Amino acid sequence: MPHRPPRAPAPPPATRALERSAAAKVSVRAIVVLAAVALFVLCVDQVTKALVVAHLTEGERVPVLGNLLVFLFTRNPGAAFSIGTGSTWIFTIIAIAVFAFVIWYSPRIRSVWWAIVFGLLLGGLLGNLYDRLFRPPGFGQGEVIDFIKIPLLPAIFNLADSAIVAAMIVFLVLTLLGVGLDGHRPVTATADEDGATDAPPTDAPSDERRDGDA
């Protein structure tokens, strides 16, 4: 029978406790990164919107980089990129549901990169949700402040929308690379199988011994 290598002994309880402690530290770090990114996006988004409302007239067009980047102050009652105008309450409820999901799911994140993804998503979500809850014409029906116009897109958007798009891009990259929520890629068993195939059986009799016994 081919020789099977003995199984590695289970780590002692102290080692398992240290591993759990390390995982907990990584989880805390990821949550801190998520919260910091979300807060940064929310603050920058609201500050830029306040500046736009204070210094621009609605409908005013201000070229920043010629026609490549234009500030155009508009109020959007719909979703991101001026989609679905007239359904503000529906998008408000969806935004609250997504916010609750991110908060519920965040303790599972162990990767800083995934924390950045969820932080960008959460910050962009909160930026537009704040507008819907607290801006005119009323609670839950507020109009989102949009002001960024580029030739590639027919719609006008804001920094919260940009953060959501950035989150989706990083999400796709991490998914294509196979990076899990713990920051590691899944390990295939190909190398282990090849090593087991190449290793000679230890209890098989050698050719010389068989010749001597004949």
| Integer Cα distance of 126 and 103 in angstroms | 12
Judge whether 198 counts as a catalytic residue: no
Q: From the candidates 45, 146, 194, 207, which is the catalytic residue?
A: 146
Q: From the candidates 45, 131, 161, 182, which is the catalytic residue?
A: 161
Judge whether 203 counts as a catalytic residue: no
DSSP β-bridge partners for residue 144? 76
Longest dimension (CA), the chain: 103
Q: Is 70 in a helix, a strand, or coil?
A: strand
Sequence-distant contacts of 44-48: CB under 8 A, at least 24 apart: 44/159, 45/123, 45/124, 45/127, 45/158, 45/159, 45/160, 45/163, 46/127, 46/130, 48/147, 48/158, 48/159
Q: Which two tokens mark 180?
A: 């899990």
Catalytic residues: 146, 161
